[in-house]
Amino acid sequence: MAVSADIFLDLVSIVSLPVILAIFSYVNPIIAFTRKITAAAYWVEALIIGCIFWPILMGQTQGLVINENFRIDRLAVCFLLLTAFVFAAALTHADFLFGQEETDEHGTLKSVRLKTFYLCINLFFLSMCSIFVSNNLGCLWMSIEATTLSSAPLVYFERTKNALEATWKYLIVCSVGIALALLGTVFIFAASQHGHLEQGTLIITDLISQADKLDYPLMRFGFILCLLGYGTKAGIFPLHSWLPDAHSEAPAPASAILSGALLNGALFGIWRITQIIMGSHFHNQIMQILLGMGAITVLAAALFLIRQHGFKRMWAYSSIENVGIMLVAIGLGSAALFFLQAINHSIVKVALFLLSGNIVHAGGSKKLYNLHGILKSCPAWGCLLTLGLFAITGAPPFGTFLSKISILAVLADRGSWILIGILLFATSLAFMSLSVHVGRVLFGGAKTDFQAFKVFQTSVVPIILLCCSVILGLVIFPSYWSFIK
């Protein structure tokens, strides 16, 4: 299928900026300029995506068909915008944070590390975008695998022993997971061949429209393998082992992007597979699996949060908790609830990881027992961290409260009281655990060697993100998202 000139220009305008930035960031010797131009460019990228796909968001058209392998619907546009926003916010903060880390312990420039960081971050963004526009299960698989390869160097940024271990664990565990997803994709293709279709296909829209004609045993087995494979990348329990290490060892801007964007991409892959299942007569059985795995993931993450020693690892387990909640939303078959939880989690978690990066750099330690008295050492960061704590645990008036209560309301309508009880217990336990850990960081005597830096600049992005969370909680009601299909 030929691509029209207008569609081609739209695609070029979206793809060209990250490609140019990737090349420029690696050849440009002035790292300070790279930091600033990249941060500004991603705000422009978010604006470009919003302008190009505005008709889709407004319902003037159902979507954009590039060819049979690539198409963009409303949910894809929403995630594209969210991803661009997360990258823009994290890279804006990275300009301030990396400005404090121009030299390592030997006094040599970190130019090679930063060049690699900005090269990979642009490739990472391109691979993330390809996830959301894929209409072919093979292309979807390759896109999710590309996110692993392009983001692994971000985890290894500090070049320490722990960073190397976290990077290898990330690569090995996610590679095993992605291999399972490939096998699941093969089984789904076989299901299309052995059903009533004339020939096999991997085109997602075709599989959805012909879901009743697929061979169900093969389709069910393929779905479970894809769920395990992409669930590994998303951090679903018990396949989460890579996530706390990777998020803890990566620099704060990379941790923010891994939590605020990468996890959404893996869950989006699960959503696409789930769409196929929802078109069959046997979808209730599969949806119960999703609901059960989501609830178990939330509960497991809450239990892990009870005893934590690492500041950023704590937020990583919080991300696993929210992944479980998003999986429950997917199990309910609601794209609106899935995106509502995703956007609220991404915005707040990016703010928390960026604030944690400030505190870790100023305090010189990632250990919770070495961080205390932040309210005395830097009141601005302490107040923002307190607000972030309430936001991520689902307290009103933040948007996370709205998304979680909306999911619970749907479960109540369906009479899933056991599931509601598990989620309420787990989220309450997570709130208490996070409150204890963060309380120890906030209160106590001020650290004598704590060196706050650029307090205003490093507080701007978290302030904006937390304000967005309040807006999502007070102004934008759940019915607003009902247009997402």
Q: Which domain holds residue 342?
A: 282-485
Which residue in 149, 97, 123 sits closest to 26, CA to CA? Answer: 123
Angle between helices 74-99 and 263-278 (to 10 degrees): 170
pLDDT score of 100: 66
Q: How far apart are CA 65 and CA 70, in angstroms?
A: 7
Contact 247, 312 (CB under 8 A): yes
Contact 291, 223 (CB under 8 A): no
Average pLDDT value over all residues in the chain: 86
**Per-residue pLDDT reduced to its tens digit, 327-367:** 999 999 888 899 999 999 999 999 999 999 888 888 888 88
DSSP assignment of 356-386 equals HHHHHHHHT--BGGG---HHHH-HHHHHHHH
DSSP assignment of 412-426 equals HHTT-HHHHHHHHHH
Query: What is the average pLDDT across 134-154?
Result: 91
Structural domain includes residue 360: yes
Structural domain includes residue 301: yes
pLDDT at 310 over 60: yes
pLDDT score of 3: 52
Q: How far apart are CA 35 and CA 378, in angstroms?
A: 25
Query: What is the average pLDDT across 193-208?
Result: 78
Structural domain includes residue 289: yes
Long-range contacts of 442-447 (CB under 8 A, 24+ apart): 442/373, 442/374, 442/375, 442/382, 442/385, 442/386, 443/372, 443/373, 443/375, 444/372, 444/373, 445/372, 445/373, 445/376, 446/372, 446/373, 446/376, 446/377, 447/363, 447/371, 447/372, 447/373, 447/377
Number of helical (H) and strand (E) elements in the chain, helices listed first: 20, 2
Alpha carbon dihedral 222, 225, 227, 233, in 10-degree steps, equals: -140
Structural domain includes residue 249: no
Token digits for 312? Answer: 């950023």
Structural domain includes residue 253: no
Kind plus residue range of the DSSP H or E element containing 66: strand 64-67
Least confident of 146-150, 207-211, 459-463, 478-482: 478-482
Token digits for 455? Answer: 């307090």
* Neighbouring residues of 314: CB distance < 8 A, sequence distance ≥ 6: 305, 308, 368, 434, 437
Task: Give the bridge partners for 136, in sequence order.
Answer: 203
Q: How far apart are CA 327 and CA 319, in angstroms?
A: 12
Query: What is the average pLDDT across 380-407?
Result: 90
pLDDT score of 142: 93
CA atoms within 13 A on the CB side of 89: 31
Least confident of 50-64, 92-106, 262-276: 92-106
Structural domain includes residue 337: yes
Task: Give the bridge partners for 70, in sequence order.
Answer: 67, 134
Q: How far apart are CA 37 and CA 18, in angstroms?
A: 11
pTM for the predicted model, two decimal places: 0.92
Task: Indicate the number of domains in the chain.
Answer: 1
Residue predicted with more confidence, 200 or 81: 81
Helices (H), 110-211: 111-133, 137-155, 161-193, 204-209
Token digits for 249? Answer: 């060892």
pLDDT at 107 over 50: no
Contact 205, 239 (CB under 8 A): no
Contact 211, 279 (CB under 8 A): yes
DSSP assignment of 270-322 equals HHHHHHHHHTSTTHHHHHHHHHHHHHHHHHHHHHHHHS--BHHHHHHHHHHHH
Residue predicted with more confidence, 5 or 248: 248
Q: How far apart are CA 188 and CA 20, in angstroms?
A: 37
Structural domain includes residue 445: yes
Task: Give the bridge partners for 103, in sequence order.
Answer: 109
CA atoms within 13 A on the CB side of 332: 28
Structural domain includes residue 471: yes
